[in-house]
Structure 1
Amino acid sequence: MSNTVDNPFFARVWTVMSAHETDAIRALRRENLAGLSGRVLEVGAGTGTNFEFYPDTVTEVVAVEPERRLAEVARRAAAAAPVPVTVSTDTVEQYMASGSEPFDAVVCSLVLCSVESPEGVLRELHSHLRPGGELRYLEHIASSGPRARLQKVADATFWPRLLGNCHTHRDTEQSIKGVGFSVSAARHEWTMPKWVPLPVSEFAIGRAVKQS
C-alpha cells in the first residue's frame, strides 16, 4: 500500500468547501463531538473542521489525514484548537498497523464513503477502541428511490474521481453494525432540501459502542 495520498484537485475543492460549510453541517459536527472525553482518534480529518468543536474533556486528539495539502491546513487548525491535536499524514490503515494504545473514542466525519474497504477499516477501529468506547459518526449515506439511482450513477461515473474517492451509495450504518458495534443513538438529517438533486444531501449521525 502506498504511504501517500495525492489528490490536488480534491484538496483544492475541499479546502474551499470546508471553509464555507452551512450552519446546519457545523451544528451536526458540534453535536457529533458533544460529550466526548479522554483520548480520541479522528479518521480523515480533512482541513481540521472538527477541531474547534472538541469539548475540553478530551485530553488528546490524534487526527489522521493522508492528503498532505489537507494535512497542512489541518495543522493550522490544530494550533488553534481548544484541546491538544496531533495531525498524522498516515492513512488510517497505516496508523493502526503501527501500533497504538486503545482509544476512548473514534470520530468519523464524511470519510467512510472514501476508504477502499469500509468494513475493513471499521473492524480495525473496533479493535483499537477500549471496551465501552464509542464510534461517533457523521456520514452521508445511501438514500432510496430516485436519489438512490442518482447516487449509483454518480458513483459509477464522475463522483469518486472528482471528490476524493467518495462513494455516495454506501450503507454505512449497516457496515458499522456488521463489525460488532452496537448503535445506541442514530438519526438521519437532510442538510439541503430533498428536491435538490445532489447525491450527498442525506446524512446519518450516530453513536456506536464497542461492547465489553
Structure 2
Amino acid sequence: MEKAVVLFLRVSIQLLALPIYLLSFLGMWEPFCKKIFFPFLLEKLTASYNRRASGHKQELFGNLQEFAGPAGELTLLEIGTGTGANFQFYPPGCKITCTDTNLNFQRGLSKSMAQNQHLQFQRFLVAPGEDLNQVADSSMDAVVCTLVLCSVQSIEGVLKEVLRVLRPGGAFYFLEHVAADPSSWTYFWQQVFYPTWKLVFDGCCLTREPWKNLEQAKFSEIKLRHIQVPLYWAPVQSHIVGYAIK
C-alpha cells in the first residue's frame, strides 16, 4: 500500500513539474539549470542553510588548525566549493584550493572570497571530486566536502582521491544530507520527491548513505555523528557530520 501511495504522489509531483521534464527531454533543462537556475538558487539558499547549520559548522571546523603542518600553515582543499559557504568558518591564514565542476558559481564565489580576506586563496580548479589529478599526492593537511556527496558520480571514487591527496595524519571533513530513517515520514517524502528533486537540483540524490562508504574507506579513524538540521522546507533534515583521519 505504501509503495502505491509513494508512486501516486511521485507521479503527481512529476505532472506539476511537467514543463521541466519537457525541457529535459528536449535537452534544454540541464544547460539552463547549470548556467542560470542552480547557481542563482544555491546563492540564495546558502545564507538560509548557514543560519540553520552554523552551530554544527562551527563545531565541525573548530579543530581544523590542529591539522596544520610543521610550520603552522594549514593547506586545505575544498571539493565542490560552490559559492564558498564554508569560508567564514575556516581559521585565519588557511591556504585554500577550491574545486568545482561548475564555473557558473563564480559570481557568488568571488563575493565570498571578498568577504573572507582572513584566508589565502591559492587556486580554483575545474575538476570533479573523483578526478583531482591536478592536486599532488599527500599535499593537503585537510580536505573539506559539504553537501557534495549527494550529487557525485561515485562516492568511492571521491574518497579514494581524498586519501591520495591527504598527507598522513591529515583529515577529511564532511557535512552531508543523507537518507532518513526508513521508518520516518522524512524518508517517505524523500521517496516521493526523489526523481523530481534530482532533476531540479542538478543531480542531488535524497537517499544516499555515505556513512557506509566512509566506514569502508581506508581511514585510520572516523568521528561521525548523525544529526538533524532544521530545514523544514525540504526533505533533507537528516545529515552526517564529522571528520576522518588518514
TM-score by length of 2: 0.74
Give the partner amino acid of 1:41. Answer: L
RMSD, aligned CA: 2.3
Aligned match of 1:122: 159
User: Which of 183, 200, 223 is the aligned partner of 1:185?
Assistant: 223
CA contact (8 A) 2:131 2:161 kept: no
Larger radius of gyration, structure 1 or 2? 2
The one-character-per-residue Cα deviations of 1:124-165 (angstroms, maximum 9, x if unpaired) are 11111111111111111111224323323322x101111121
Matched, 1:97 2:133: yes
Deviation (angstroms), 1:189: 1.8
Deviation (angstroms), 1:92: 3.1
Deviation (angstroms), 1:60: 0.4
CA contact (8 A) 2:176 2:241 kept: yes
Matched, 1:36 2:64: yes
* 1-structure distance, mates of 2:50, 2:143: 24
C-alpha distance 45-28 of structure 1, shift in aligned 2 (>3 A): same
TM alignment of 1:126-165, pairs within 5 A: 126-144=163-181, 145=183, 146-155=185-194, 157-165=195-203
* 1-structure distance, mates of 2:190, 2:229: 16
Matched, 1:46 2:74: no
Matched, 1:85 2:137: no
Q: Which has the higher strand share?
A: 1
* 2-structure distance, mates of 1:55, 1:17: 24
* 2-structure distance, mates of 1:33, 1:160: 29
C-alpha distance 128-201 of structure 1, shift in aligned 2 (>3 A): same
* 3-state SS of 1:100 partner: coil
CA contact (8 A) 2:79 2:129 kept: no
Give the partner amino acid of 1:187. Answer: R
The one-character-per-residue Cα deviations of 1:104-135 (angstroms, maximum 9, x if unpaired) are 11111111111111111111111111111111
Aligned match of 2:98: 63
CA contact (8 A) 1:133 1:209 kept: yes
* 2-structure distance, mates of 1:98, 1:22: 30
CA contact (8 A) 1:103 1:133 kept: yes
Q: Which has the higher helix share?
A: 2
Number of matched pairs: 203
For structure 2, the residue ranges without an aligned partner over 5 or more in a row are 1-30, 66-73
CA contact (8 A) 1:42 1:61 kept: yes
* 3-state SS of 1:96 partner: coil
Aligned match of 1:12: 40
* 3-state SS of 1:159 partner: helix
Q: Report percent identity of matched pairs.
A: 28
The one-character-per-residue Cα deviations of 1:16-56 (angstroms, maximum 9, x if unpaired) are 11133353312222222222131111111111111111112
